Chains A and B, each alone.
Chain A
Amino acid sequence: MAIRSTFTVPKRFQTISMALMAFGLLSIIGLWVTSGSSNDPKEQARFWASLLQNSVFFLLVVNASMFFICITTLAWGGWQMAFRRVPEAISAVVPVIGVICGAILLAIVFGDNHTIYHWTDAEHVMHDPILSHKKGFLNKPFFAIATVITILGWSLLGYKMRQLSRKLDNEPIATLEERKKYIFNNTVWAALFIVLFSLTVMSSIPWLWLMSIDAHWYSTMYSWYTFASTFVSGIALIALFVIFLKNNDYLEYVNNEHLHDLGKFMFAFSVFWTYLWFSQFMLIWYANIPEETIYFQPRAHGIYKGIFWLMFIINFIAPLLILMTRSAKRNYGTVALMAVLIIFGHWLDFYQMVFPAVSPGKVPNIIYDLGIALGFVGLIMFVTGRALTKAPLLARNHPFVKESLIHHT
């Protein structure tokens, strides 16, 4: 097969993504029949919690692609230019999952069932001194407005960044002055995205969407820890798509130097995630205050123990030992395997963030959640595949392209 510069979605890829989406839909229906439609509010909550966990996780993961583009733009990095269209295409999924996720979140908040977010129960909050103190942050209008603004902001600024990149495909820039202006323009928009990103993913949004499930408990590290989780999964997703395209004779300029750097990112942010995870854990363990340790009681010692430690092994020990050597990071097979493992591990991480509070009595049947996760994977494949066809795979006219073509680690 000859090397091609524009992507056409292979038949098999299309079929698999469709099949996965159908499977995800079936899982949602199955879960609706077994839990969602029941009269028990706890059972209903289990259905919504599954949707919440999956949609939030995959939304934050695809959004991490745009974050990757923006930080490399801000740092004036050039090495990623050879595959930059891949994270761009992945970030095109943000509006799609954003709508799904926003709808699910608003449905949970404005629904009658207060099992997941019990701060939505006005009656209960009145008699709860801690929750009535938090009313300024944990209330329905604020939640709704913050959610809508956040998802809209990510989508719009992401769209602007993609447009800036695609604009060059048809009109190359000739002079040095214009190139400088283009880079400056890119930097400004990337900086705006980073500001929004740090006000949302890195600080407030995980508190609102996930931490408020355990509304009495709080941790200031929670958002950073969630960010690290989704960023490392986002890099893993980029690596998977890069390897997929490379295997199908696209991305001729990407070689194992670029793969090595993606592997370094995966390795480094796995360690960074562990650092934050452990910092959060150790302070609570050391202080040993009941209001705080109640969060880790069901997770580290209770019925969620298995998932908790499995996730720790997958997210820290496996990347640390397997991705440590240079040759592993330059090997397409190893990186692909570790990318799948890391995404699964951080999905488990989100699982143990959400479910211990929603279903404290028993661990829910994880098969349904995995099925829904596969549905989201199919959706990401489908939308990213379509987004990849819309532009050439190499941003030929970008001023930094040369830097990526001769990249050497």
Chain B
Amino acid sequence: MAKKKFIVGSFTDEAVLFPAVKKVRRAGYKLHDVFTPFPIHGLDKEMGLRDTSLHTAGFIYGITGTTTAVSFITWALTIDWAINFGGKPYFALPAWIPVTFELTVLFAAVGMVLTFCWLCQLAPFVKKDHFNPRSTDDTFVMALECTGSTNESEAQQFLQSIGATDVKVETRETGWWLGSYANDRMRFEKN
């Protein structure tokens, strides 16, 4: 993964963070992400993020579950091993609805969890770097990505002017990697 430079600032107040996000976007900086300890309503809209397509994935998984259940039970109970249950027709759809429903839910739920993990790059043994560990506690951390045309000191001053504290320039590897934090942190501290 590519190493990139970021300008990182911390906020402690939502009322400062929201206008700050708006100002950053208006000033034309490339907003990498805002890290918060809890979900904040409306922040995604303010940041201009598009709606997630996780629902669509969930729908597709659900439909897959429905199809799997219906086609498998149909095959098993009408073609492969047809048994007469209490004089019901072999193709006894109402009796299969509960199983079909369960399989729909199972496929949708498990599929969506796995997709969510993949989208957020979460998995066992996978490490991700925090810009500021306090973003898991009580601080909102905003990271701007430095592009070729970003003036670092100007951007730092800008972040400070809109209410950020603890502003600094950091180099990070984007994405995720396997390993431990301690070793990886050293790679960056040498810079």
Q: Kindly state whether residue B27 has any CB partner on chain A within 8 Å.
A: no
The residues of B that contact A324 with a CB separation of less than 8 Å are 59
Nearest CB of chain B from residue A321's CB, rounded to whole Å = 10
Q: Kindly state whether residue A218 has any CB partner on chain B within 8 Å.
A: no
Cross-chain contact A288 with B94 (CB below 8 angstroms): no
Q: Kindly state whether residue A408 has any CB partner on chain B within 8 Å.
A: yes
A278–B95 Cα distance when bound, in Å, is 11
Across the two chains, which residue of chain A brings its CB closest to B42?
Answer: A408
The residues of B that contact A281 with a CB separation of less than 8 Å are 94
A278–B86 Cα distance when bound, in Å, is 20
The residues of A that contact B94 with a CB separation of less than 8 Å are 278, 281-282, 285-286
Q: Kindly state whether residue A325 has any CB partner on chain B within 8 Å.
A: yes
Q: Kindly state whether residue B137 has any CB partner on chain A within 8 Å.
A: no
A288–B89 Cα distance when bound, in Å, is 12
Cross-chain contact B55 with A325 (CB below 8 angstroms): yes
The residues of B that contact A278 with a CB separation of less than 8 Å are 94, 97
Q: Kindly state whether residue A12 has any CB partner on chain B within 8 Å.
A: no
A-B contact count (CB 8 A): 19
Cross-chain contact B51 with A326 (CB below 8 angstroms): yes
A408–B40 Cα distance when bound, in Å, is 11
Nearest CB of chain A from residue B101's CB, rounded to whole Å = 9
Cross-chain contact B59 with A408 (CB below 8 angstroms): no
Complex partner residue of A288 from B51, B59, B86, B98, CB under 8 angstroms: B86
The residues of A that contact B88 with a CB separation of less than 8 Å are 288
Cross-chain contact B95 with A286 (CB below 8 angstroms): yes
Please encode chain A, from 325 to 350, with 1 for each CB lying within 8 Å of some chain B CB and 0 for all others: 11000000000000000000000000
Nearest CB of chain A from residue B60's CB, rounded to whole Å = 12
Question: Which of B89-114 touch A at CB < 8 Å?
Answer: 94-95, 97-98
A326–B50 Cα distance when bound, in Å, is 13
Q: Kindly state whether residue B26 has any CB partner on chain A within 8 Å.
A: no
The residues of A that contact B41 with a CB separation of less than 8 Å are 408
Across the two chains, which residue of chain A brings its CB closest to B56?
Answer: A325
Across the two chains, which residue of chain A brings its CB closest to B52?
Answer: A326
The residues of A that contact B124 with a CB separation of less than 8 Å are none
Q: Kindly state whether residue B148 has any CB partner on chain A within 8 Å.
A: no
Across the two chains, which residue of chain B brings its CB closest to A281?
Answer: B94
Question: Which of A374-409 touch B at CB < 8 Å?
Answer: 408
A319–B98 Cα distance when bound, in Å, is 20
Q: Kindly state whether residue B28 has any CB partner on chain A within 8 Å.
A: no
Nearest CB of chain A from residue B73's CB, rounded to whole Å = 15
A256–B97 Cα distance when bound, in Å, is 35
Please encode chain B, from 69 to 83, with 1 for each CB lying within 8 Å of some chain A CB and 0 for all others: 000000000000000
Across the two chains, which residue of chain B brings its CB closest to A407?
Answer: B41
A285–B94 Cα distance when bound, in Å, is 8
Across the two chains, which residue of chain B brings its CB closest to A288?
Answer: B86
A316–B74 Cα distance when bound, in Å, is 23
Nearest CB of chain A from residue B51's CB, rounded to whole Å = 7
The residues of A that contact B98 with a CB separation of less than 8 Å are 282
A371–B41 Cα distance when bound, in Å, is 47
Given A288-B86, A288-B87, A408-B41: A326 in contact with B55 (beta carbons within 8 A): yes
The residues of A that contact B42 with a CB separation of less than 8 Å are 408
A286–B87 Cα distance when bound, in Å, is 10
Across the two chains, which residue of chain B brings its CB closest to A283?
Answer: B94
The residues of A that contact B97 with a CB separation of less than 8 Å are 278, 282
Nearest CB of chain B from residue A324's CB, rounded to whole Å = 7
Nearest CB of chain B from residue A345's CB, rounded to whole Å = 20
A88–B41 Cα distance when bound, in Å, is 30
Listed residue (B59, B94, B97) with the most chain A CB atoms within 10 angstroms of its CB: B94
The residues of A that contact B51 with a CB separation of less than 8 Å are 326
Cross-chain contact B55 with A282 (CB below 8 angstroms): no
Question: Which of A273-323 touch B at CB < 8 Å?
Answer: 278, 281-282, 285-286, 288
List 19 contacting pairs A-B, 8 Å CB cutoff, sorted by A.
Answer: A278-B94, A278-B97, A281-B94, A282-B94, A282-B95, A282-B97, A282-B98, A285-B94, A286-B94, A286-B95, A288-B86, A288-B87, A288-B88, A324-B59, A325-B55, A326-B51, A326-B55, A408-B41, A408-B42
A-B pairs with the 5 shortest C-beta distances? A408-B41, A282-B94, A285-B94, A408-B42, A286-B95
